[in-house]
């Protein structure tokens, strides 16, 4: 017999401190009886202390831009699961190194994907997928807290929804941020997320940009760089990493994440092992100072899913 604590009992004890999250979960459990239920019960029991404040923060950011997070989370999750099921039977990702232009057309330049569910769905996974919540915690503890209090300049490449930019700009009032993303929809969404959540317009500058091209910075000029969940989306990961190493100051830090054996509607570079990723970082002048390995199987002992998310804090090799 399951010893699961009734969801209403948990929500009643939390709704005063975390009203937005408690309301979200009450509706979510009405809408989706099975999908994500065990993952969310895992969050409520095993990740309680970090989950509630993180979920409340992300849902409030989303509320301020009039989001529809339940639909987005469900649709994003179903789209991911469909691709991963295909990958488990074929061994292939949806795209490959020769078909980036198709991914651009079908995903990054497609409002029916980016605006409809991708950006908002991915944003809320940072709280509601255990693997992404743990990755977010690693970002806060091993990267965000290590950045300088004094004036600094950094960039996020492939910022998507803009959550990482918000976290940095919100915590460090003296930092300025630049950002490049290939999608006009990411650009519009992240600008809105930052501006409507109190980040002054003169503290950041986001633009369209392609990490397959050289970065427009002189050598050793950036204090920080975020390059999260982009490496597996591009045909030229070595080049992009080399550019990041070139642009970081000797004491600059990069936060880099990627996925191993994990398909999605826009993945094309298939890493098979963690060693492949660490070797690529080192070969492109990045030294790993912290690493978090997040195998999906650790969250559910019955799962045979070979997905591993991994996150790194790196500094440039000098």
Residues at the site binding ligand SAM, with contacts judged by CB under 6 A: 108, 122, 158-160, 180-183, 186, 209-212, 228-230, 233-234
Q: Kindly report the number of other CB atoms within 10 A of residue 29's CB atom.
A: 16
CB of 101 to ligand SAM, least distance (A): 11
Choice between 10 and 188, CB closer to ligand SAM: 188
Separation CA 12–CA 267 (nearest Å) = 40
CB of 190 to ligand SAM, least distance (A): 8
Choice between 237 and 316, CB closer to ligand SAM: 237
How many helices, marked H, and strands, marked E, lie in the chain?
A: 13, 7
Per-residue burial over 238-274, b if 16 or more Cβ lie within 10 Å, else e, is eebbbbbbbbbbeebbbbbbbbbbbbbbbbbbbbeee
CB of 265 to ligand SAM, least distance (A): 10
According to DSSP, the residues that pair with 255 across neighbouring strands are 226, 313
The two most distant CA atoms of the chain are separated, in Å, by: 62
Choice between 11 and 59, CB closer to ligand SAM: 59
H or E element that contains 25 = helix 19-31
Separation CA 254–CA 133 (nearest Å) = 19
Cβ pair 281, 315 in contact under 8 A: no
Choice between 22 and 227, CB closer to ligand SAM: 227
CB of 14 to ligand SAM, least distance (A): 26
Choice between 161 and 315, CB closer to ligand SAM: 161
Separation CA 282–CA 87 (nearest Å) = 28
CB of 13 to ligand SAM, least distance (A): 30
Choice between 54 and 186, CB closer to ligand SAM: 186
CB of 212 to ligand SAM, least distance (A): 5
Q: What angle do CA 271, 273, 275 make, to 5 degrees?
A: 110
Cβ pair 190, 163 in contact under 8 A: no
Residues whose CB is less than 8 angstroms from the CB of residue 292 and which lie 6 or more positions away in sequence, other chains included: 134, 135, 138, 142, 310, 311, 312
CB of 97 to ligand SAM, least distance (A): 12
Tell me the residue nearest to ligand SAM as measured from the CB: 160
Choice between 22 and 83, CB closer to ligand SAM: 83
């Amino acid at each position: 017999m399951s010893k699961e604590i009734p969801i209403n009992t948990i929500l009643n004890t939390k709704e005063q401190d975390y009203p937005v999250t408690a309301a979200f979960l009450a509706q979510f459990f009405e809408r989706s009886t099975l999908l994500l239920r065990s993952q969310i019960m895992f969050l409520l029991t095993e990740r309680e202390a970090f989950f509630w404040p993180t979920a409340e923060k992300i849902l409030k950011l989303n509320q301020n831009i009039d989001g529809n997070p339940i639909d987005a989370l469900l649709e994003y999750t179903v789209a991911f699961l469909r691709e991963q099921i295909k990958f488990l039977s074929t061994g292939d990702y949806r795209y490959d190194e020769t078909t980036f232009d198709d991914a651009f057309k079908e995903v990054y330049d497609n409002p029916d994907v980016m605006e409809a569910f991708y950006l908002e769905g991915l944003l809320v996974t940072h709280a509601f997928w255990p693997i992404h919540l743990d990755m977010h915690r690693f970002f806060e503890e091993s990267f965000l807290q290590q950045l300088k209090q004094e004036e600094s300049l950094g960039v996020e490449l492939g910022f998507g929804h803009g959550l990482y930019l918000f976290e940095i700009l919100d915590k460090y009032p003296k930092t300025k941020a630049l950002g490049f993303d290939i999608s006009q929809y990411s650009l519009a969404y992240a600008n809105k997320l930052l501006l409507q959540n109190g980040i002054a317009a003169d503290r950041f500058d986001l633009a369209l940009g392609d990490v397959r091209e050289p970065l427009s910075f002189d050598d050793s000029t950036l204090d920080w760089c975020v390059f999260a969940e982009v490496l597996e989306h591009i045909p030229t990961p070595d080049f992009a990493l080399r550019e990041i190493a070139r642009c970081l100051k000797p004491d600059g830090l990069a936060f880099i994440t990627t996925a191993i054996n994990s398909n999605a509607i826009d993945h094309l570079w298939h890493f098979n092992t963690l060693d492949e990723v660490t070797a690529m970082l080192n070969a492109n002048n990045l030294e790993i100072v912290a690493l978090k390995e997040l195998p999906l199987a650790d969250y559910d002992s019955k799962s045979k899913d070979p997905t591993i998310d991994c996150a790194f804090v790196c500094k440039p090799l000098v």
